[in-house]
Amino acid sequence: MTTTSFSLAPLFRHSIGFDRFNDLFERAFEADASTSYPPYNVEKHGENEYRIVLAVAGFAEQDLSINIENGVLTVTGAKPAVEQSGKTVGYMHQGIAQRSFKLSYRLEDHIEVQGANLENGLLTIDLLRVIPEEEKPRQIPIGSNAARQNRVEKVEARRGEEAAETA
């Protein structure tokens, strides 16, 4: 019996802070092996805090670049060729991958990059969702008396301000 498994994990790899199913669906079917290197986690640390952690062993700060443009966060790494006394090193076995990489993450409109840190071979990028006040959900009171009283108070306050300005 042959079973085929279909993982939805690729659908959630490259978006942080929101779900845009169409973009994610297209990414899931891309035949791009470079997205598995370097290994990484996307973590959620509370209601509006996110962190991307990339395992970049062997890369120094000067080998890494983090850019954000048009809502896309791009992390690239390029390791220069290793030289010893003017000669390029040849490997009999190279088990530690140090190839160049480029990873991109599409961010929601209100996600801001707070900072990045490289420690013990892990690059961490901290993100924060900052929602403007006018876009936050708000409670609308139900009831004719409460709503009417609120409107009357606002009208009276406005009239008082206008009277003070003309005096």
For the entire predicted model, the pTM comes to 0.59
Does residue 84 or residue 137 have the better pLDDT?
137
Decide: helix, strand or coil at residue 133. helix
Q: Which CATH architecture has domain 9-140?
A: Sandwich (2.60)
Strands 101-107 and 15-16: what pairing? Answer: parallel
Which whole number is the average pLDDT over 4-12?
A: 49
% of the chain surpassing 70 pLDDT:
69
What is the chain's mean pLDDT, rounded? 76
Model confidence pLDDT, tens digit, residues 53-89: 999 988 899 999 999 998 899 999 997 766 555 677 7
What pLDDT, on the 0 to 100 scale, is given for residue 21?
Answer: 45
Count, residues in the chain? 167
Decide: helix, strand or coil at residue 61. helix
